[in-house]
Chains A and B, each alone.
Chain A
């Protein structure tokens, strides 16, 4: 260790010229890299489910304000994604699926990602609060906090229930959409919340079954890593069984029509059948069924929300239960 002169900072606080050069090296990040930080595929599902929450809400909302609400929800979701990538750069670097993300690939620095996520989060919440609704802004802030702090920093690295509890973050958008339109929270958005909440574990566990080695290498305690494939498959069946009535709940509660009732029952039954088939398979055939289940789960959620959207957009009330 060199002797620090009285007029210079201690060695550990001094940055070398090489550090400075690396820090101020002009960036190679393109606009596309920053868009990738927003997790656009997740964002598209968030926008879609929020749109459904907004459309089924009672009353009229000016289209410009509706668009603004969706923009804020999308930007808020993107901010949460950026903060997630900022915190998880070490995990992403060792996982095959995520190794080419902008941070682990070195195209964007961690400080840049953190600043980008924080600025977008504040912008989305403040704009929602000032232009649309304060309750919706509060829910949006809570959702970003829940995903970036509770899930990413807390649950993900410490418990195999990470996806179960963390799934709440992805379930909030329809509630925020409803709140943006009405300023309140009702039974309808709560049921939509529950659909996404119970859908998330079997969806992610089906994916993680075939990527258990990746998660194990990264030290993430996903259920297949901690409890094994057998227990994960059993949990997938349990959640898929719960999904069947929960998926049908909008029809049972009387705010969705017969088309929704039939489709939600059929899709829920197929999902449960795939889950049961998964339990009965091992090895490569089980991997194939897990991939089918993962793919179908996306179609399942999209179908349920799309039917609700169509029913409300075209005033289809046929087959609604009378209560």
Chain B
């Protein structure tokens, strides 16, 4: 359990490790999406969202 003192909530080592793991996963996911959408734009051309419905 996190300790509370005058500096606010202080994370335990386990909580820090878990947060780091989540942060890395979010960073990898966002980076991958940026690359994926960029490549899709190259593949589909400038009218990437212009499509018949």
Which A residues are closer than 8 A to B by beta carbons? 24-32, 34, 62, 64-65, 68, 71, 130-131, 134
Q: Which residue of chain B lies nearest to A131 when distances are taken between CB atoms in the complex?
A: B40
Chain A residues with CB under 8 A of B53: 134
Q: Are B21 and A32 in contact (CB under 8 A)?
A: yes
Q: Are A30 and B18 in contact (CB under 8 A)?
A: yes
Q: Are B49 and A130 in contact (CB under 8 A)?
A: yes
Q: Are A30 and B22 in contact (CB under 8 A)?
A: yes
The 4 closest A-B pairs by CB, nearest first: A31-B25, A30-B21, A26-B15, A31-B21
Q: Are A26 and B43 in contact (CB under 8 A)?
A: no
Q: Which residue of chain A lies nearest to B23 when distances are taken between CB atoms in the complex?
A: A31
Q: Which residue of chain A lies nearest to B2 when distances are taken between CB atoms in the complex?
A: A26
Interface of B is mostly: helix
* Residue B34 interfacial (CB < 8 Å): no
The CB with the most chain B CB atoms within 10 A, among A28, A34, A71, A134, is that of A28
Interface of A is mostly: helix
Chain A residues with CB under 8 A of B22: 27, 29-31, 34
Which B1-37 residues sit within 8 Å CB-CB of chain A?
1-2, 9, 11-12, 14-15, 17-19, 21-22, 24-25, 36
* Min C-beta distance of A258 to chain B, whole Å: 37
Q: Are B43 and A65 in contact (CB under 8 A)?
A: yes
- Number of B residues whose C-beta is below 8 Å from A? 23
Given contacts A26-B11, A26-B15, A26-B19, contact A64 B25 (CB under 8 A): no
Please name 13 further chain A to chain B contacts, defined as beta carbons within 8 Å, in addition to the given A26-B12, A31-B21, sorted by A numbering: A26-B15, A27-B22, A28-B18, A29-B22, A30-B21, A31-B22, A31-B24, A31-B25, A32-B21, A64-B39, A71-B36, A131-B44, A134-B53
Chain B residues with CB under 8 A of A65: 40, 43-44
Chain B residues with CB under 8 A of A64: 39-40, 43
Q: Which residue of chain B lies nearest to A30 when distances are taken between CB atoms in the complex?
A: B21
Q: Which residue of chain A lies nearest to B11 when distances are taken between CB atoms in the complex?
A: A26
Q: Are B39 and A25 in contact (CB under 8 A)?
A: no
Chain A residues with CB under 8 A of B39: 64
Chain B residues with CB under 8 A of A131: 40, 44, 48
Q: Are A68 and B40 in contact (CB under 8 A)?
A: yes
* Min C-beta distance of B5 to chain A, whole Å: 14
Q: Which residue of chain A lies nearest to B48 when distances are taken between CB atoms in the complex?
A: A131
Query: A210 CA to B18 CA in the complex, in Å?
Result: 36
Q: Are B18 and A25 in contact (CB under 8 A)?
A: no
Q: Which residue of chain A lies nearest to B24 when distances are taken between CB atoms in the complex?
A: A31
Query: A134 CA to B40 CA in the complex, in Å?
Result: 16
Q: Which residue of chain B lies nearest to A65 when distances are taken between CB atoms in the complex?
A: B43
Q: Which residue of chain B lies nearest to A26 when distances are taken between CB atoms in the complex?
A: B15
Q: Are A62 and B36 in contact (CB under 8 A)?
A: no
Chain A residues with CB under 8 A of B1: 25
Query: A25 CA to B15 CA in the complex, in Å?
Result: 10
Query: A34 CA to B9 CA in the complex, in Å?
Result: 24
Query: A68 CA to B44 CA in the complex, in Å?
Result: 12
Q: Are A26 and B36 in contact (CB under 8 A)?
A: no
Chain B residues with CB under 8 A of A32: 21
* Min C-beta distance of B29 to chain A, whole Å: 9
Query: A26 CA to B21 CA in the complex, in Å?
Result: 14
* Min C-beta distance of A265 to chain B, whole Å: 41
